[in-house]
Amino acid sequence: MLSKDQLIQSYLACPECKTKLRLAGDDLECVSCNSRFQAIDGIYSLLPGENMYPVKPEHWDQYKWKFVEEAHGATRMKKVLKYINHEGTHLDIGTGRGDGTYLVGKKKQTIGVDYGLDSLRIAKEKNPHVFHADGRHLPFQNGSFSSITMMDVIEHLPNPEKLLLEANRVLKPRGTMILQTPTIEASRLKDVAAKIYNRSKTMRSLDTVIQRLRPDVPVINPNVGAQPYDVLLRRKQLHDMILSAGFTIEKRRLATYFSNILLIQLFCFADLYICRKGE
């Protein structure tokens, strides 16, 4: 496991100027611009000083993470573990409750970041190396990671192209980026299924029976509330954005996705991309 000194010396950087950080008492301080970053509940908040985006971290803290089932993060990460090599260190962008990050951590050294602080308080119980950060301003040095995951993250960010550029920056040459997001095209089948479901009493009754027979299958708990930003991309738009950020796409496939209705979950898919950074 990485020590605090190793994290600071070899990985962490100022989210604004990308210069290395140093300890300054209990805080971290940029060696160049002198920006200081404090720990909140044992989690360093490494956000840029000025937030110019409409969605703030406190908006994500309104999402009720305690109602999110552990299986959500674990299930989607299990699908991609085979694409993550054992070498180097892994970065999970959008760690949420940390359930998926924990799984990767069994395979290799792993660091998690998230934009909301409440989810990180839960994630820290599973993985001590989590940081409060904005994926568009990652607080890491160039070429720090051999692999990166961002599972169901990019649709929640205004300016998602900045996230992809930052992922490329902190990834080692020939490193792997794994990205999952529900594109507009992948979501069409779910939308059709939802319309039929809402009109059909038979389907709603069948769903009740299935839920009784399969209580182990995770669905989205309606008590978690609405996420503060959710804009789907078109497949070609996402494809071009990935290429423009300096990645090649090695594989794209549809992956199963979650719904708050078990029957509709059969028709829910997201686009899963396995990408490679150039030399």
Which pLDDT does position 87 carry in this prediction? 95
Contacts of 42 (CB under 8 A, 6+ apart): 124
Burial 48-59 (b: 16+ CB within 10 A, else e): beeeebeeebee
CATH code for the domain defined by 4-183+227-277: 3.40.50.150
- 242-277 pLDDT, tens per residue? 999 999 999 999 998 887 777 888 889 999 999 999
Q: What is the mean pLDDT of the chain?
A: 91
Alpha carbon distance 58, 227 (integer Å) = 12
- Could you identify the residue written with the tokens 């160039």? 142
- Reported as a pLDDT band with limits 50, 70 and 90, residue 220 is low
> Residue 193 corresponds to which amino acid?
A
Q: Residue 219: CA atoms inside 13 Å, Cβ hemisphere, count?
A: 18
Which pLDDT does position 129 carry in this prediction? 96
Alpha carbon distance 11, 171 (integer Å) = 11
Alpha carbon distance 91, 130 (integer Å) = 10
Calculate the dihedral angle through the C-alpha atoms of 60, 66, 67, 70, rounding to the nearest 10 degrees. 100
Alpha carbon distance 168, 237 (integer Å) = 18
Structure tokens at 193: 């299924």
- 142-174 pLDDT, tens per residue? 999 999 999 999 999 989 999 999 999 999 999
Entry pTM: 0.92
Where do the domains of the chain lie?
A: 4-183+227-277
- 10-63 pLDDT, tens per residue? 999 999 999 999 999 999 999 999 999 999 999 999 999 877 888 899 999 988
